[in-house]
Amino acid sequence: MDTSAPRTGVEAYLIGILERSERVSNYARSRGWRFVMTWAHRIAGGILVLYVLFHTCTLSALHEPAVFASKMELFHTFIFRFLGWVLAVPVIFHALNGTRLILYESFRVRKDPTMIRWVFVLGAIYVLTLGFFMLTGNQEVSPCFFWLIIAIASAISSTILYKRLRHTQNGILWKLQRVSGAFLLPLVSGHMFFMHLNHRAGHDVDTILARLSAPGMKALDFVFVSLVYFHAGYGLCTIIGDYVEDIRIRSGLRVLVIFVLGAFAYTGAKIILTV
């Protein structure tokens, strides 16, 4: 993604739009597009943290199905459905860009400009397909089959990465951040897809409760929540470490992040295990 490299077609058009922002253009010219991608990754991650907190709050109403059902009415409005679709952008961008970074760091895939193009192409396909299913809303898939495939894909991707990292001397939390990312890639993108692919799965309280009562789903969702909160917490602590020099302030902020995310993770896990 060297700024001087010639571009054609859609790519040139999109870069032209991005370069209209003076700040983005300056960073792209002075630090490269991959620097801009790093910032976009962080911003997407920040949005996802906020959404996960919001999502946990919403799901906490599952203990009272009638209250939950009435809250869900709000999410059936056009604006919330549109926001739900827009959320797919940071989700898939963070997932695919994270994959690009893992491939660069651990699998020596150095063709970064090509990888960045794939991030955007696959991301666009995902978002458009999701939008299509949201509009049609008449699909039905077997939850058991769908989640089995997703669980297998998550297990394979995280195991491959774990094998790659296990003998390195990188810190254990650093490794876990990467492995959790590899596990979450199929799980998060699959989760979002499933909720809209199978219309009732994301909207009908009885369907949600029936799904959550299955032991296999409980186990998978428990792993899901644990890894999401770990991944988010480690990411935030990393950002704090990058900017806060004073060790007391840094430690204080990290404790705060761990406490808040830990409380939300506990709430999320409790919903899954007790509903």
* Amino acid at the residue 134: M
CA distance linking residue 107 with residue 111, whole number of Å: 11
Task: Pick the binder of other proteins from 47, 65, 89, 106 (CB under 8 A).
Answer: 106
Report whether 26 contacts 72 (CB < 8 A). no
Check binding of 112 to other proteins (CB under 8 A). Answer: yes
Provide the mask over 26-65, with x wherever binding to other proteins is found by CB under 8 A and - wherever it is not. xx-xxxx-xx-xxx--------------------------
Task: Pick the binder of other proteins from 105, 144, 159, 251 (CB under 8 A).
Answer: 105
Report whether 230 contacts 180 (CB < 8 A). yes
User: What radius of gyration, in Å, describes the C-alpha atoms of the chain?
Assistant: 20
Q: Which is nearer to other proteins, 26 or 159 (CB)?
A: 26
SS3 245: coil
Length of the chain in terms of residues written: 275
Check binding of 182 to other proteins (CB under 8 A). Answer: no
- As a whole number of angstroms, the longest Cα–Cα distance in the chain is 58
**Candidate segments 25-33, 73-81, 211-219, 261-269, binder of other proteins by CB under 8 A:** 25-33
Q: Which is nearer to other proteins, 20 or 167 (CB)?
A: 167
Q: Which is nearer to other proteins, 18 or 124 (CB)?
A: 18
Q: Which is nearer to other proteins, 26 or 274 (CB)?
A: 26
Handedness of CA 84, 88, 90, 94 (dihedral sign): positive
How many other C-beta atoms lie within 10 A of the C-beta of residue 21? Answer: 12
Binding site residues, other proteins, CB under 8 A? 2, 26-27, 29-32, 34-35, 37-39, 101, 104-106, 108, 110, 112, 164-165, 167-171, 174, 238, 241-245, 250
